[in-house]
């Protein structure tokens, strides 16, 4: 593009100086010459003008063919398509609200993205390794190929508008730094950090993580539970995988119809709905709650039941 622009400036200036053409006539002659349209000379050119025209033809054709070669290479390599896709994806991310930002698309991040997408939640992945682009495209998830430890990258991922952040980078130090940046930008963000070592758990909590997950410890706990209480875990897995059953958490709103109602009264209209636990605003957890336990605003409910019933109950809890 720069070479083509240079050819236009060179030709227009040359025709104005050497042939005495006006600006419009000189530009017209330059364009027709560079594009090889060849409508003919506006006015007869002398030997100097013709020599200049030949140099313009060489320069102009070189610029045009160079531009065509670059565009052909971009199309053939797929880079142009990827560039357009990234631009469209950036606009889509800019319009997202209440989504989750997942830093890193490794084994832990990939599993988290699959679960979030299965629940129909908006997800933006920030991945520094460009080699994973094809995997991200195949996963059909919005993503940014950039360094998640940069504040401007988190901004482009919509951290200020996000519902939550999952720090799943392999480096504990990077997870701590990302947590600090995100917490400073969005104080209400729900942050889950990954800790590879026990020493990093407290560091992540001090940095602002609401929850910290240690994959190795979690795997060990699950293996021990499977060895000691396999039926319990099978029940939990069955509930999670059942198409019509869910375990959800609901918060009773200030003006909710559930405020003041008992656990029995809340569950009565729905078949198969059970309130497994109630955590009050003071942090006290009742599990299981008594049937005559009265609910109050800001109570957090752990509820098991059919998806449709839980959706209706969530609306009642919010309003």
CATH H-level, domain 244-318: superfamily: Regulator of K+ conductance, C-terminal domain (3.30.70.1450)
**Unique residue bearing structure tokens 């054709």:** 61
Say yes or no: domain 96-219 is CATH 3.40.50.720.
yes
Contact 126, 102 (CB under 8 A): yes
2-77 folds as: Helix Hairpins (1.10.287)
Contact 292, 273 (CB under 8 A): no
pLDDT at 227: 85
DSSP letters for 69-137: HHHHHHHHHTHHHHHHHHHHHHHHHHT--S-EEEE--SHHHHHHHHHHHHTT--EEEEES-GGGHHHHH
Q: Is 154 exposed, middle or buried (0-12, 13-18, 19+ CB in 10 A)?
A: buried
> What is the C-alpha to C-alpha distance for residues 26 and 29, in angstroms, rounded to an integer?
5
> What is the C-alpha to C-alpha distance for residues 105 and 143, in angstroms, rounded to an integer?
10
Q: Is the dihedral of CA 104, 208, 189, 306 positive or negative?
A: positive
Three-state DSSP at 274 gives: strand
Three-state DSSP at 296 gives: coil
In this structure, what are the phi and psi dihedrals at residue 198, rounded to the nearest 5 degrees?
-60, -30
pLDDT in tens, the chain (319 residues): 888 888 889 888 988 888 888 898 888 888 888 877 767 777 777 888 888 888 888 888 888 888 888 877 766 656 666 676 777 888 889 999 999 999 999 988 999 999 898 888 999 999 999 899 889 988 889 999 999 999 999 999 999 999 999 999 999 999 999 999 999 999 999 999 999 888 888 999 999 999 999 887 888 887 888 788 888 777 777 766 666 788 888 999 888 889 999 999 999 999 989 999 999 988 888 988 999 999 999 999 999 888 889 889 988 888 7
> What is the C-alpha to C-alpha distance for residues 114 and 123, in angstroms, rounded to an integer?
10
pLDDT at 150: 94
Contact 92, 86 (CB under 8 A): no
Contact 277, 285 (CB under 8 A): yes
Crossing angle for the helix pair 47-77 and 2-18, to the nearest 10 degrees = 170
> What is the C-alpha to C-alpha distance for residues 292 and 289, in angstroms, rounded to an integer?
8
- Per domain, the residue ranges of the chain are 2-77, 96-219, 244-318
> What is the C-alpha to C-alpha distance for residues 144 and 135, in angstroms, rounded to an integer?
13
Beta bridge partners of residue 306, listed in sequence order: 245
């Amino acid at each position: 593009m720069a070479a083509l622009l240079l050819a236009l400036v060179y030709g227009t200036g040359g025709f104005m100086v050497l042939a005495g053409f006006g600006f419009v006539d000189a530009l017209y002659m330059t364009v027709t010459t560079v594009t090889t349209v060849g409508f003919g000379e506006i006015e007869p050119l002398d030997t100097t003008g013709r020599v200049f025209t030949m140099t313009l033809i060489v320069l102009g054709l070189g610029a045009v063919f160079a531009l065509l070669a670059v565009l052909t290479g971009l199309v053939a390599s797929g880079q142009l398509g990827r560039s357009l896709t990234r631009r469209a994806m950036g606009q889509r991310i800019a319009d997202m609200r209440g989504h989750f930002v997942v830093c890193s698309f490794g084994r832990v991040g990939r599993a988290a993205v699959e679960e979030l997408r299965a629940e129909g939640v908006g997800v933006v992945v920030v991945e520094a390794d460009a080699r994973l682009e094809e995997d991200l495209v195949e996963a059909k998830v919005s993503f940014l190929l950039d360094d998640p430890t940069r504040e401007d990258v988190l901004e482009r991922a919509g951290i200020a508008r996000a519902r939550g952040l999952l720090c799943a980078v392999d480096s504990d130090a990077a997870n701590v730094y990302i947590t600090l940046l995100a917490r400073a930008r969005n104080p209400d963000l729900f942050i889950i950090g990954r800790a590879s070592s026990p020493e990093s758990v407290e560091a992540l909590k001090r940095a602002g993580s609401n929850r910290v997950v240690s994959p190795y410890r979690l795997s060990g706990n699950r293996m021990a539970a499977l060895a000691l209480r396999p039926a319990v875990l099978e029940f939990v897995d069955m509930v999670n995988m059942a198409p019509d059953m869910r375990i959800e958490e609901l918060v009773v709103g200030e003006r909710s119809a559930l405020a003041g109602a008992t656990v029995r009264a809340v569950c009565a209209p729905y078949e198969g709905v059970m309130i497994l636990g109630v955590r009050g605003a003071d942090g006290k957890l009742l599990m299981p709650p008594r049937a005559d336990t009265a609910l109050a605003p800001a109570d957090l409910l752990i509820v098991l039941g059919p998806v449709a019933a839980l959706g209706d109950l969530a609306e009642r809890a919010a309003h």
